[in-house]
């Protein structure tokens, strides 16, 4: 990536409200050259609705692949899929689309959690959607294995917080997530991981805590930009 050429980033969202959040995060990650960056967004709530109700089916993966192929046909240099429920479908998409790197939203977060907690540490994953639980646990465990270390991974499903967000009560959602963070730390977590990108605002309220609390959006934006830079 250089200061003269336009660099295009593609983003696939399942929650429309997150598009402007990630737009700003990617531009922040680009830094001084942000005026040369172009972002192209694709939004498809059906993907998440289907993942929640019937799982990440072959049809879900095929539709995600179609979105990413469309973005690459528009000339994007890298794609970020911002839905954690589609994490494993994102990895399959990356194998099937070679035109540009395809970034899983929570990969960088999982790697950071393993690095911070150290061998034998305990990572507590907080999620508000059941569809995210399995993919996130498997990702963290695989990240630990790739790092050659052993960690304990626990998960807590904050269903009430998920219902609050679905009802549009973001303040209650954030308060319940913060309560979940406090309880995880009280129970001895070495690192707390917030599985959904929509939980990221709780990181601010947890900033002064001694135990790291990780969210995916900012880390993923930097992963996307760094991968594109590495290819330029």
Q: Where are the domains of the chain?
A: 7-105+218-231, 107-215
Q: What do you get for the CA distance between the two ends of the chain, in Å?
A: 5
191-194, strands of its sheet edge to edge = 152-157, 122-127, 191-194, 213-214
Tens-place pLDDT, residues 201-232: 877 655 567 899 999 999 999 999 999 999 87
Q: For position 54, what pLDDT does the model report?
A: 94
Q: How confident is the model at residue 34 (pLDDT cuts 50, 70, 90)?
A: confident
What architecture does CATH give domain 7-105+218-231?
3-Layer(aba) Sandwich (3.40)
Q: Which residue intervals of 55-121 are DSSP H helices?
A: 58-73, 87-96, 107-117
Taking 70 as the threshold, does the pLDDT of residue 2 lie above it? no
Strands (E), the chain: 7-13, 37-43, 78-81, 102-104, 122-127, 152-157, 191-194, 213-214
CA distance 177 to 72: 36
- Please, which residues have CB within 8 angstroms of residue 95's CB and are 6 or more apart in sequence? none
Taking 80 as the threshold, does the pLDDT of residue 199 lie above it? yes
Q: For position 201, what pLDDT does the model report?
A: 80
Q: For position 64, what pLDDT does the model report?
A: 98
Eight-state DSSP code of residue 102 = E
Using alpha carbons, select from 117, 145, 149, 128 the residue that is nearest to residue 85: 128
Tens-place pLDDT, residues 47-89: 999 999 999 999 999 999 999 999 999 999 999 999 999 999 9
Domain 107-215 in the same topology as domain 7-105+218-231: yes
Q: For position 36, what pLDDT does the model report?
A: 87
Taking 80 as the threshold, does the pLDDT of residue 4 lie above it? no
Percent of the chain exceeding pLDDT 90 equals 84
Q: For position 205, what pLDDT does the model report?
A: 56
Please tell me the CATH code under which domain 107-215 is placed: 3.40.50.1860
**Residue holding tokens 């569809």?**
131
Using alpha carbons, select from 81, 74, 89, 82 the residue that is nearest to residue 40: 74
**Residue holding tokens 């209650």?**
172
Mean pLDDT across the chain, nearest whole number? 92
Taking 60 as the threshold, does the pLDDT of residue 144 lie above it? yes
């Amino acid at each position: 990536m250089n200061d003269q050429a336009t660099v295009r980033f593609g983003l696939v969202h399942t929650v429309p409200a997150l598009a402007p959040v990630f737009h700003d995060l990617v531009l922040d990650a680009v830094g001084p050259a942000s005026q040369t960056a172009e972002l192209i967004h694709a939004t498809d709530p059906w993907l998440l609705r289907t993942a929640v109700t019937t799982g990440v089916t072959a049809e879900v993966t095929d539709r995600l692949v179609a979105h990413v192929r469309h973005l690459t046909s528009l000339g994007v240099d890298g794609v970020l899929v911002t839905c954690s429920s589609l994490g494993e479908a994102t990895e399959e998409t990356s194998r099937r689309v070679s035109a540009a790197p395809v970034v899983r939203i929570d990969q960088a977060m999982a790697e950071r959690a393993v690095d911070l907690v150290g061998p034998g540490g305990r990572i507590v994953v907080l999620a508000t959607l059941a569809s995210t639980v399995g993919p996130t646990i498997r990702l963290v465990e695989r990240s630990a294995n790739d790092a050659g270390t052993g960690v304990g991974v626990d998960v807590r499903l904050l269903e009430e917080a998920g219902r609050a967000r679905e009802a549009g009560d973001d303040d209650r959602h954030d308060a319940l997530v913060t309560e979940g963070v406090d309880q995880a730390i009280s129970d001895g977590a070495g690192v707390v991981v917030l599985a959904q990108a929509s939980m990221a605002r709780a990181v601010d309220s947890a900033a002064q805590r001694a135990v790291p609390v990780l969210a995916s959006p900012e880390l993923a934006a930097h992963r996307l930009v760094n991968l594109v830079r590495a290819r330029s």
